[in-house]
Amino acid sequence: MNQPKYDLELVNVTKCYGTTVAVDAINHHFRPASYTCLLGPSGCGKSSTLRMIAGHETVSDGSVLLAGRDISHLPPARRGTAMMFQSYALFPHLSVLDNVAFSQKMKGIDAPTRRRAAAEMLALVDLAALADRMPDQLSGGQQQRVALARALITRPQVLLLDEPLSALDPFLRIRMRAELRKLQQELGISFVHVTHGQDEALALADEIVVMNNAVIEQAGPARDVFNAPRTEFVARFMGGHNVIALPEGHFAIRTDAVALTAAAAGRLDAQVIAVEYQGTHVSVTARAAGDQDITATVPDHQFFNHPSAPGDRIGLTWAQESQHRLAS
């Protein structure tokens, strides 16, 4: 499918449920044909944001624009978006093909046309061979692909996915995320994917929008958000960082940028409190003055050339440029 590139924009989008402000006047411009993850802890307002884009929830204030057009007050089916839900809720009494064709049936499209369209979508998600199966004859991953085909048959300009991988086991989750990424690139449309998993967001997204307490804490290309977290919250939530208080301020330092030295030979002296072997590397956590716990992920061979154990006094060091100042 060679579709034009549509961009999605949120302008002061707000959602209140009674006195709860679930989304507080957020602004974001989603890049056309990009894979964006809305990432944040439970309750931060991700799903409310997604549902307002989809039209399953009204906006309390602000607007949602698609290709410059205000879609905030259109019904879901007329927005140019489609949503894939966490629970795929396939119709148990309909075949895979009829599940996918269902929305077209509701629109009054004739049987041969809708069956052809459904078959095309099933081919897209690699399920052509299973078109005549019933949903209970499919694995979880296959059911999910049917749900994807069912959302894509509406030819959306933006596909919205609410925690789409959370029901899958870890192995399938990793396989499905590669498939989602490939599908997004093949279709050339925007995907907006809600997740609370930073590893999932890093693996999938061109852009990550980190939300916290109803606002966008930081947004940008995945590598920028990981390498240059703006706040302590982002540094801690993305993981892989230490947050260190120094006389000059608070800094994030990647755990793989911290090296171990002999005591009194590094920037800080510390006492090892935990050593965890993790296969490719060893994670060493040491406590420095002021009860600051700092973790170093050390390549395994390097660690075993100079092993250390809980209780040892060591030094910790890092290059000046890996020290990244955080906004207070």
Contacts with ligand ADP by CB under 6 A lie at: 17, 20, 22, 40, 42-48
37/244 with CB nearer ligand ADP: 37
53/151 with CB nearer ligand ADP: 53
Neighbours of 267 (CB within 10 A): 16
Contact present, 42 and 30 (Cβ < 8 Å): no
Neighbours of 132 (CB within 10 A): 10
59/314 with CB nearer ligand ADP: 59
Contact present, 5 and 185 (Cβ < 8 Å): no
Distance (Å, rounded) from C-alpha 268 to C-alpha 317? 7
Contact present, 132 and 95 (Cβ < 8 Å): yes
44/153 with CB nearer ligand ADP: 44
Distance (Å, rounded) from C-alpha 207 to C-alpha 328? 24
98/163 with CB nearer ligand ADP: 163
We find the least distance from the C-beta atom of residue 150 to ligand ADP, in angstroms, to be 22
We find the least distance from the C-beta atom of residue 204 to ligand ADP, in angstroms, to be 17
Contact present, 159 and 193 (Cβ < 8 Å): no
Q: Which amino acid is at 177?
A: R
63/166 with CB nearer ligand ADP: 166
Using CA of residue 141, residue 144, residue 146, residue 148, what is the dihedral sign?
A: negative
- What is the per-residue DSSP string for 268-296? EEEEEEEEEE-SSEEEEEEEEGGGEEEEE
We find the least distance from the C-beta atom of residue 192 to ligand ADP, in angstroms, to be 13
Q: Which amino acid is at 115?
A: R
We find the least distance from the C-beta atom of residue 173 to ligand ADP, in angstroms, to be 18
We find the least distance from the C-beta atom of residue 113 to ligand ADP, in angstroms, to be 37
We find the least distance from the C-beta atom of residue 187 to ligand ADP, in angstroms, to be 25
22/152 with CB nearer ligand ADP: 22
Contact present, 114 and 105 (Cβ < 8 Å): yes
233/251 with CB nearer ligand ADP: 233
Q: Which residues contact 12 (CB under 8 A, 6 or more apart)?
A: 25, 26, 27, 61, 62, 63
97/214 with CB nearer ligand ADP: 214
Secondary structure of 216-238 as H, E, C letters:
EEEEEEHHHHHHCCCEHHHHHHH
Neighbours of 152 (CB within 10 A): 21
We find the least distance from the C-beta atom of residue 159 to ligand ADP, in angstroms, to be 18
We find the least distance from the C-beta atom of residue 17 to ligand ADP, in angstroms, to be 3
We find the least distance from the C-beta atom of residue 147 to ligand ADP, in angstroms, to be 19
Distance (Å, rounded) from C-alpha 96 to C-alpha 121? 11
